[in-house]
Structure formats: structure tokens, C-alpha cells
Structure 1
Amino acid sequence: MFTLKKYALPNLVHFRKFSLTAALSSDELVVHRDSPDNNETTPFEFTDANMTRLEAIIKNYPVGCKRSALGAALDLVQRQIGWVPISAMHKVAEILGVPRMRVYEYSTFYTMVKRSFKGKYHVKVCTTTPCMIMGSDIIMAAVEEACGAKAGHVSPDGLFGVEAVQCAGACANAPVLVVEDDYYEDVTVCDVQDIICTIKNGGIPPAGPRSGRFAAEPSCGLTSLCSEPPRPGHGLQHALLK
């Protein structure tokens, strides 16, 4: 009778690694630690304008469903002060009438919620496969040099925060650089220098592909839909046109 013990060689037993890249760990994803500028006593109140906006958003949902405005409320906080301290989370929970834990869950799950100061301009470099193939490592190095900050850190003047992110959702336009709400696509090292220098000088670089193509059209030019579309009814039997 075949037995593993009889034929197995103990020195050949090993575990295979499926990834050789270094693990990037961060306690920011799930854990809060009080700091002088981020604790329960950190001052936060919605401005009158933002409170009016939030009340209008809440009215879009049925009675008893105020919690549906959670994402919008946190976005208003972030647009008001640039990030979301834990005191602001408590304020949102109070206004929406939900347990604080519900706000913690949302804030720690979605990486678009900045739970610490990321600089006046949050510069994100996509490093997922399409962007990596198109040279995101070089783009990241150029961003770090231009901003004066390593990935995961803020520049000494507080102007730029640099971060590596996963899939910015514009894979056809890789490599992609995101600054706040603006997407810069098909970027090169020269484009990075131009974008960052423009921001430093108080300008707003035009968003979109830097290669000259429109949106996500083929980089080699249009290969289909190059002529006027046929009129309604084209190709139908005459009997069906009556």
C-alpha cells in the first residue's frame, strides 16, 4: 500500500511564495491613534454654506434613511478643511443619527477619505498593472523629485502630499497622475514637471490626456466610426418602414 511517509523526502517540503514584492503595511487603514492635531477635541464645525448643502442632500433620501448621505457628508468635510479628523467623523455621526462606528467603517474602507493631512495638493500616482507596464515607477520618481516628498509623505512646505494608489480607473490612458479631482493621463516625465511647476506657480494645469488624444480614443487614431452614421431605418425592409 502506498504511503506518503514511505516515499516523501522531508527536505523537499517547502512553501512557495506567490509574490516577491515587498509588503507595504499601514496602520492608517484600520487604526486611529490620537495626535495633537487629530483627536476628539479637534475643532470642527460645518460652515453655514456646507451645512445648507448637507441638509439639501439629506432631503434626497426617504425619512429614516439619513445614513445614505454619509459619503456626501464626509466629502463636504474633506472639501472644507482638506482632510477628515476623527472629531469631524463624530459630527457627521451626530447629524445623521448613526453610530460612530458606521462612520469609522466607511472612512477606513474607502481610501478616498483622507484621515490625515495629505498636503494642500494630494498627488496620487497609479501603480497598478497597466500603469506599471507604461512606466509608473519612472513617473513616481519624477513626482517625488518635483514635489520634494517621498511617497507616503508631505513636502516640508505642506504644499504636496505624494501617494501611490491602486487603479485610478483610467487604464486605457496609462500612466495616470491624479491631483485632487483632476486626472492627468498619458503622462511623461516632462509632463510631471510641467504639471507640478504650474501648480507651484498658482496655476491649474488642464486635465485630461497629455498626448493630444481625446479621452480614451486609440493612441494610433480612430479605427472605427470614422464616417457619418447611417440614418434611422437603414437596412430595414421597406414593409417595416410604413
Structure 2
Amino acid sequence: MALRRFDLEAGGDSFAFKPETEEKIAFWRAKYPAEKQRSAVIPMLWLAQKDNNGWLSEPAMREVADRLEMPYIRVYEVATFYTMFRLQPVGKYHVQLCGTTPCQLRGADKLKEVCKKEIGDIMYVTDDGRLSWEEVECLGACVNAPMVQINDDYYEDLTPESLSQILGKLKNGVEAAPGPQIDRVNSAPEGGATTLTDAALFDGSRNAIRVLPNLPVPAVEEPAPVAADPLAAIKQTIASGAKAAEEEKAAEGERPPLVTIDPAAHDDLKRIKGIGPKNEDALNELGIFTFKQIAEWTPANVDWVEDFLSFPGRIEREDWIAQAKLLAGGGETEFSKRVDAGDVPSSQDDED
């Protein structure tokens, strides 16, 4: 970067922000905490440049430093580093001409000749104080090259003739319309749009589309191959045998029918000799809640229940069915009387 120095003589001895700028200063400073006010140095310098006829004098930089409580040298460093800050007087209309490759290829060199002819050398201010110019790096409007920025506005798609006309208007105090200087809107094609012209694209009718067309379909991952189990055949044989045994076991006997009974109608099955609390819970899980159900068991039902509860022969040995029939009919057994009197330990724990 070329050495940049500010013009001490042209800057005078003082600078003051315009009253209407104070609101903007407050806006930018409010973005930063009290101990980080120096972070506002760039926008503050930009506002000072605008209030100082488009350039930064040394007093203007000192005013920014004082307001942000920064050393003067730190503000000078920022101002001399960024080329957006001009360090010598410029005209009322300062032309920044882009000379970067896209504009250069589209005729920026011819625009430079116009500026030299109409204004003079780089950073020279015309005698009437209206015009000055400089060459800058890319201004980001490459699609509309060649172009210039005059103060805050872009003038694009220029030719030597159109730029000469714009400078002539400004020199005579006549405002020139910014933007493309040919028949186009912003960066649209010259002569009007040639694509996306269907009105249905913009009337909201396509809002129902939830998936973009032509998106790549995610590949379906193949499951990882399962390593061969050398014991698979043995495991299969064991599983088959267990399944066969289970089916054979299930075939023995017949499960008593399931019923749904109001809990208030449940009988105290512990009044049957051989049924304690645990066996009663097991019978309840099978849907057995009353003496009448047990009294109606068939031999096949007995075989199934004995197999399920793992005590073969016990139901017949303790004569559950006969006891259940008597109790279901409202009678009593010697055992049920003892249970009712609280004299039978099996009413609290299962018998062996």
C-alpha cells in the first residue's frame, strides 16, 4: 500500500460535527459497552468525513479520538490504513473510478481519459470546487462494468460519452440519475428479463412445494454383513428342541376359561386347603377368582393348572375341586372354618 499522509495545511485548526449528526453518533456509540467505545472509530470517522466536505482533516480525527478517549495515533492509524477515508480535500462530487480487471476489460481505461480531460489529475479539485476523482479497487458492481461511484451513488454501464454527460451535469449543478446508464433494471439483462418471466413463479401458487426438485437422493446404506457364527447350527438345534418341548408342554391339558369379574365378587381362595397367598395371586393372574370356577375344572384343566404352577398331583391330592364345590354352594369345610378364625398359617403363607 502506498504511503498515505493527511493534509495538515488544508485542514485548519478546528472541526465540529454538524448538530444533525449527533443523533447518528449516539446510535453508533450505543452499539458498544462503555469500556469498548473505541470500537465505533470507523463509523465515527465516516461521519466526520461527511461533515468535513468529503475528507478527513487532522482536527476531525482529533475530535473523533477525544470523543472515544483514544490516543490520536490510533485514530491516525485507522484513517491512513483504509482507503475509504480521504486525507486531502475533494470536490463536492468526488468520483471513484473502478480500475479492477472486470471494469478494465469493459473500458475503464477510456473512462480514466474522460476524468483527466473533464477534471484533471487524480485528486485534483476543479477551480469551482465541484469535481475531483481517483482510481479505486473493485466496488462490487462487476456485472454492470465499467462503473464509478460518485459520493454515495453508483453509475454503471458507462461509456466515455455517458460519463462525460454525467460530469457535465454535475459541473453545472444539475443532478444526474444514478444506476445503470443503459436499458436495464439493476443487474437484469439489457432490454429486460429473458428468464423467470412466468408470473406464476411469483404469485404464491408454488408455495405448497416442500421439496426442491432434482435434489440428489440419499444413498441407502446396506446393512453390514453379519459374521458367520460357527455355533449357529448347534444353537438352531437347541432352539428347535426347546420350541418343540414348549409346544408339547402347551399341548398337555387345557387352560381354564378366562373371565372378567368385579373385584367385589372375588372369593377368598385361601379358604381352600393348599391355596396360600402366593398361589392365590398366581390363580388370579390366570383369571381364576371364584370357588365356582375351580369347581367346574375338568381333568384337562387340572392338568394344565398343575403344569403351569409346577406342582403335579397337588390339586387332586388336596381335593381342591370338592372343597370349591362345597364353598361355592355356601357350605363350609373344617379348613375354611379355621381360616375364618385366623387359626391357619397357610392363610398367610403357602404350604410346602
Task: Name 2:105's counterpart in structure 1.
Answer: 133
Distance (Å, rounded) in 1 between the aligned partners of 2:76 and 2:90:
19
State the one-letter code of the partner of 2:185: F
Identify the match of residue 115 of structure 2 among 143, 154, 161.
143
Q: Which residue of structure 1 aligns with residue 92 of structure 2?
A: 120
Native 8 Å contact 1:185 1:210 kept in 2: yes
Q: Give CA-to-partner distance per residue, 1:89-128, whole Å, 9 cap, x none.
A: 1110110122223212221121111111022211111110
CA deviation string 1:198-223 (max 9, x = no partner):
11221211110001211112347434
Q: How far apart are 1:184 and its partner, in Å? A: 0.3
Of 169, 173, 178 in structure 2, the residue corresponding to residue 202 of structure 1 is 173
Cα distance in 1 for residues equivalent to 2:22 and 2:130: 27
Is 1:27 matched with 2:24?
no
1:234 paired residue number = 209
Instruction: Give the corresponding residue for 1:239.
Output: none
- What is the TM-score normalised by the length of structure 1? 0.77
Give yes or no for contact 2:148–2:155 (8 Å, CA) kept in 1.
yes
Deviation, 1:68, is 2.2
Equivalent in the alignment of 1:160 = 131
Q: Which of 75, 80, 87 in structure 1 is aligned with 2:46?
A: 75
Distance 1:215 1:59 in 2: 34
% identity of equivalent residues: 34
Distance 1:73 1:104 in 2: 13
TM-score w.r.t. the length of structure 2 is: 0.54
Kindly provide the CA deviation profile for residues 25-66 of structure 1, in whole angstroms up to 9, marking residues without a partner as x.
8432xx45x64223xx62112233223431232113223221
**How many Å apart are 1:144 and its aligned residue?**
2.0
Give 3-state SS (helix, strand or coil) of 1:178's partner: strand
AA of the residue aligned to 2:209: H
Match of 1:191?
162
Listed as ranges, the gaps of 5+ residues in structure 1 are 1-24, 237-242
- 1:7-26 counterparts in 2 under 5 A? 26=2
1:42 aligns with 2:17: no
> Deviation of residue 181 (structure 1)?
0.5
Shift of 1:175: 0.3
Separation of aligned partners in 1, 2:170 and 2:191: 30
Distance 1:64 1:235, change over 3 A: closer
* Structure 2 counterparts to residues 83-98 of structure 1, below 5 A: 83-98=55-70
Give the match for residue 213 of structure 1.
184
| Contact 1:123–1:163 under 8 Å retained in 2 | yes
**Between structures 1 and 2, the one with greater helix share:** 2
> What is the CA deviation profile of residues 169-212 of structure 1, one whole-angstrom value per residue up to 9, with x for unaligned ones?
10000000111111000011121122111112212111100012
The count of residues paired between Structure 1 and Structure 2 equals 206
Which residue identity lines up with residue 53 of structure 1 in the other structure? K
Residue in 1 that maps onto 2:275:
none
SS of corresponding position for 2:79: helix
Supply the distance in 2 between the matched residues of 1:181 and 1:200 (Cα, whole angstroms). Answer: 17
Q: Sort the Cα spacing of 1:79 and 1:235 in 2 relative to 1 into closer, same or farther, 3 A.
A: closer
Report the Cα offset of residue 235 of structure 1: 7.1
Return the structure number with greater relative CO, CA threshold 8 A, min gap 6: 1
Q: Which amino acid aligns with 1:27?
A: L
- The amino acid of 1:168's aligned partner reads L
Match in the other structure for 1:5: none
Q: Is the 8 A contact 1:152 1:164 kept in 2?
A: no
Quote the RMSD (CA, aligned, Å).
2.1
Larger radius of gyration: 2
Q: Which runs of 4+ in 1 moved over 4 A?
A: none
